[in-house]
Structure 1
C-alpha cells in the first residue's frame, strides 16, 4: 500500500505510529522473555491503514531485539494484512510489502488466520534488474522494511548485485534533500556487502539524521542502519 506525502489523516496516523515504533526501538526496555509495550494506535480503519503503510516495520522492535511482540500489535497487523491484500493490479512494490508483513508475522509465530496464495513470496524481483539506478533506489527505499539482518529474499539479492547503484542513489537522494529515500537507501547499504569506502556512508547517515531525523520514518531506517554499521548487537 503506497501513500502520498500530502497531509491527510492517514499521513498523521502513519507519523504517530512511526513515532511509537521509534520510541520502542530506542527505549532500551527489552527482555527476551516478555513482550514490549504496544506500538499500534488502534484497529479502526485509519489505524489499520497506517499499519499497512508502515508495513513490517511496525514489528521491527520485536524483530531486532528478539523479543515477543505485544499481542495487540500482532492482532492489529494480522487484521491489516487481511484488510489490505494486494489486488490483481497491485504494483510489485505493494506485493513485496505485503509479503514482508506476512513473513514477519510468521517468523514471530503468528501467521495470518486466513492464509492466501497472495501471502506467498512473489516469484522474483527481476523487474528491479532493468531499472535505472534512480528507479532502483526509489523502489528499494519503499521496500526498506525488507532490509533487516538475517533475512534473505530476492529483492535483497538484486540490491546486493547493484550496490554501487544503490550508493549512487543514496548520494542523489541526499543532494536532493529526499531524506526518507536517503534513509531507506542507507538502510539497504548497511546490510549489503562491498559498499564503496569512498561513499562515506557513516558520515552520510549522520548528515541525514541531522537534516531529516525528526521524521519518525527516517528515524526508523537510520536506527537500523547506524546500529548495523556500528556493530551493535540487535
Structure 2
C-alpha cells in the first residue's frame, strides 16, 4: 500500500512539473521552478525523482527560450542526475535519458557535469518502425535541432518510418506517443508533406491536451516547428 501511495504521489509530481514546463513554453516565461510543489514534496525526496522521470525537459523552457535557470532549478537537476544514475543493466532509454540530463546540465551550467560518453544506439538501427517510434517518443527530450546524438542520427535516417509511427499512434489514440513522435518530426528533414504535421499537432493537442505530458510535447513541437531554439 505504501509503495502504491508513493507511486501515485510521484506520478502526480511528474504531472505537476510537466504542467509547469508546458505553461512556461506557452507564455514564453521562465522555467517551472516557481511551480514546484510544496516543501513537503522536496523533503520526501520526490522532487529529484520527479525530475528524473521528466528528464531533460525539466529545463526545456531555458533551452528553447534562452532564459537563465534559477539556481534552485539547476540544483534540483544536478541532484536528480547524481541521485539516479543508470544501472549497468539499465534499458537503453534509461541510459539515454540520463545522458540527456547531463547534457542539459552542461549546456546551462558549464562545468557542472562531467561529459559522459554516449550510450550505444545500434539497437535503433534494426528496430522496426513501430518500435522505433515507441523508443523515440520516450526519448523526445533528445529532439532538439542543432544537437547531435546517435539517437538523433538514427531518427534522421528514417523520417518516413517516424511519420508512419506518428499516424499509427494517432489512430490508436496513444496521444503521448503521438506527441513525442511529432516533436521528432519537427526536427527531421524528409518528412512527407502529405503527413499534415501541423493539423496532426492540432488534433493531438485537442484530444490529449488534458495530459500535461502530452501538452508539454505539443508545446515543444510547436516551438521547434517555428525554429524557436536559441
**What TM-score results when the alignment is normalised by the length of structure 1?**
0.87
Contact persistence 1:55–1:145 (CA under 8 A): yes
What is the number of residues matched between the two proteins?
220
Q: Match of 2:142?
A: 146
The structure 1 segments of at least 4 consecutive aligned residues displaced by more than 4 Å after TM superposition are 110-113, 231-234
Contact persistence 2:129–2:161 (CA under 8 A): yes
1:124, 1:227 → 2: CA distance? 29
Secondary structure of the residue aligned to 1:68 is: coil
* 1:233 CA drift (Å): 6.2
* 1:124 CA drift (Å): 3.4
**What TM-score results when the alignment is normalised by the length of structure 2?**
0.89
Unaligned segments of structure 1, at least 5 residues:
1-6
Q: Match of 1:90?
A: 90
Task: Determine whether 1:46 maps to 2:46.
Answer: yes
String of CA shifts for 1:165-218, please: whole Å, max 9, x gaps. 100110010000000000000000000001001111111111000000121111
Counterparts of residues 107-146 of structure 1 (less than 5 Å)? 107-112=107-112, 115=114, 120-146=116-142
Name the structure with the higher helix share.
2
What is the alpha-carbon root mean square deviation over aligned residues? 1.9
* 1:232 CA drift (Å): 4.9
Secondary structure of the residue aligned to 1:88 is: coil
Contact persistence 2:185–2:191 (CA under 8 A): yes
Q: Match of 1:214?
A: 210
Unaligned segments of structure 2, at least 5 residues:
1-6
